Structure 1
Amino acid sequence: MNKDFEKRSYAFEISAEQNENEVGVVTGRPIVYDSKTDIGLFDEVIERGALDGADLRDVRFLVNHDISRIPLARSRNNNANSTMQLMPDEQGLAIRVNLDVKNNSEARNLYSAIERGDVSGMSFMFAVDSDEWTDLESEHPTRHVKKISNVVEVSAVTFPAYEDTEISVRNKQALENAKLALESAKRSKEETLDSALELEKAKFEAIMKVR
């Protein structure tokens, strides 16, 4: 829990249906593998298998990441009694949420908005355990998230796009953390190159001395 949490959003697969028990069922996919997304400073790809071993023991379902509101569903150890089921698969993470549309007005409002298509995106809050950077020499490198340590919350979101202005306002600290990680990766690559050059120089000088 000491890691910095980040938020990512997708305009991807959220739909509503209702069963015979007057429960509004929402299905969606808040995490998508192998999908390159421009988040402003860089592109990001969540690599296939990044959720393997991730902590999914306690995940809430919210609207627009609003932690001041009561969760509309929750997955505890992903057991059968949970009001949200988590389904990691080869594409990422799918969810199935049971909304109490009969007794909860907020759940009923969200269900209606999804059914009408007014809410069409999903987002999740997560912590990264391992990542790699490519194209660091370019103006727009790519971050590859190799391993997600845990997911604490998923949301239905009104604005799922990764627009720079929206991220900078909504998630400024996470963006700053990503910027620092990018700068650190670039410095590490430069130091590696410098070390390699020094090694080659030392080898050359040693050869010249032998001669």
Structure 2
Amino acid sequence: MRMLKNALIISLSVSLFAIILTITADLLEWYTLGSYPPAETLDAIDVDLGVQLTVDVFILLSTLFMFLTLVVTAVLFLIWVFQLHKRTRLMESKDSIYHPGLVLAIYFVPFVSLVMPPVAMWQINRAQVKRLKVHTLNSWIIAWWLFFLLVWAISTVFMDFDTNWETMTIGEIRSNALVYALGEFSLLIAGVALLRIIHLMTKRLFEMEKAYSDDNTKRYAAE
């Protein structure tokens, strides 16, 4: 579990760096097109091809890098979630903690995946707070999920990945760049909150397991 946590934190940290690069690329596109008439298309104006090509390549590479790191992070995160619930259920009432298999399914069921993941996290948080008498992580869980939902809302409502860039005006391209940057910034905030959750929940899991083992040792010694 410790190696899994370290791998997940490293992967998530790299993902956050990739997100920052992508935000920078989007803002760079927005800035470089700011001197052109907003109602014109790229074909109708004299664009500096060298600058535009550099920006386009930067956007492509940073977006691809972000996508790949997020895929790896998502896989590690699901494994971590499974192990977190599995090991916590060994120490707590089965009725108070979701089955780890059910928790994984929650992330893939439409609509349910928009509501239940933070509920599963709250169950773990409640168990850790009750047993260890530590501060709750509710604010971090809420921040993580609200910003993740904001990313989902922005991508669903505003982002059109089938856009014909050749017919778009400069103004539309710049607006899209800002929308993408806003979505990626929300993802960045969600990732920072999740980084904190992973670190503290794993640390507290180890403390719970130690306390649970000590209690069992004392109980057996008393018998």
Structure 2 length-normalised TM: 0.28
More helix by share: 2
Structure 1 length-normalised TM: 0.30
More strand by share: 1
State the structure with bigger RCO (CA 8 A, min sep 6), 1 or 2: 2
